[in-house]
Amino acid sequence: MKRILKQITIPKLISKLAIGVGLLAGSGLASVVGFDYPMHVEKVSERVFALVTPSRELPNPENGGWNSNMAFVVAKDGVLLFDSGSSEAIGLAAKRAIRSITDKPVRWIVNSHAHGDHWLGNAAFSDTVETIIASAPVAELIANDGARWVTLFNDMTGGITQRSEIKAPNKIIHKDDILNISDLNVELILSGGGHSPGDLMAWLPEERVLLAGDVIYSDRMPSTNAGDLARWLEILPRLEALDPIAVVPGHGSVTDKEGITQLLSLLSALWQSVEDGIEKGLSDFEMLPKVSEALEPFKSRYPGLEEKLRRDLSHVYLQIEATTF
């Protein structure tokens, strides 16, 4: 059951013309190619709000690069932002959306992982942000690979995302931790690299809300080409045990505990079907039809399943094959 308590539509945030320097004075951008980001603020709990993209595609000219979700938490002394989007321009649109709810500044950002669609908007908050939090692997990947993400998304969107400034994390998390900021207690949970190296989630126990990043996909087929499927399968039951009333996924609609259970079923079925193929001596190419057949019950819930399966199967195959030795 998807949980949507309230949705607030705000006006179009960025005109189709270039935005003037005055609007962007604190953002680090002098100008930007305009794009209408259809951001709606979805109230998840009393203090938690989500910015859910309607796109289920990769960054492209049609979605302007905005293909991943963001969330924010309104604390007494400021706002905690969880992920910041695929570009500085998207970060600016998020800033405007946040201002429709509160005039408190974004003082803290959590970057869930190193894929550029979740952190390239950091620089839009340079005028107010004090702390940008990420795990050690994510901070290292941003430092070493950040420029490639800027170029990649600019190419994929036909120049809409432009040349975002790289604003790196300055608080590094090495293990599960508790973040005490203002009147918030935020439990930071590492996935063990389930979806990608250094995945970081935020659990708000008072709100019973999980900000999951890409460890949870609700209605889009997850990408499994950069992670460790065995570790992913280990962390999901732990997230189920939190019994969240709401989960903000990295991609897809806001969900709840059921969304975690469904994803666990999907990834378990993927593992089992690939393992069966390996036991029969099949190559990844040879087992593709059987794996696809085994995942048939999930296809209506997870758009893009066939495409992602064809792309990622060889990566999953090698992981599972390694466990047989």
Domain range annotation of the chain: 6-323
Give the integer Cα–Cα distance in Å for 225 and 311: 8
- pLDDT tens, position by position, 242-290: 999 999 999 999 999 999 999 999 999 999 999 999 999 999 999 999 9
Please count the CA atoms within 13 angstroms of the CA of 209 that sit on its side-chain side: 25
Q: Write out the DSSP string of 116-131.
A: GGGTTTGGGGTTT--E
- pLDDT tens, position by position, 300-314: 999 999 999 999 999
* Residue matched to tokens 């500085």: 88
Model confidence pTM above 0.75: yes
Phi, psi for 160 (deg, rounded to 5)? -65, -40
C-alpha of 296 from chain center: 25
pLDDT bin (cut points 50, 70, 90) of residue 33 is low
- Spatial neighbors of 296 by CB under 8 A, at least 6 apart, are none
- pLDDT tens, position by position, 104-123: 999 999 999 999 999 999 99
Q: What's the token pair of residue 201?
A: 């989630």
| Superfamily (CATH H level) for 6-323 | Ribonuclease Z/Hydroxyacylglutathione hydrolase-like (3.60.15.10)
For 69, 176, 253, the CA distances from 1, given in Å and listed in that order, are 19, 29, 11
Q: What's the token pair of residue 219?
A: 């209605």
Residue 193 has pLDDT above 90, yes or no: yes
Residue 30 has pLDDT above 80, yes or no: no
pLDDT bin (cut points 50, 70, 90) of residue 34 is confident
Residue 6 has pLDDT above 50, yes or no: no
Identify the sign of the CA torsion 81, 258, 66, 213.
Answer: positive
Report pLDDT for 144.
96
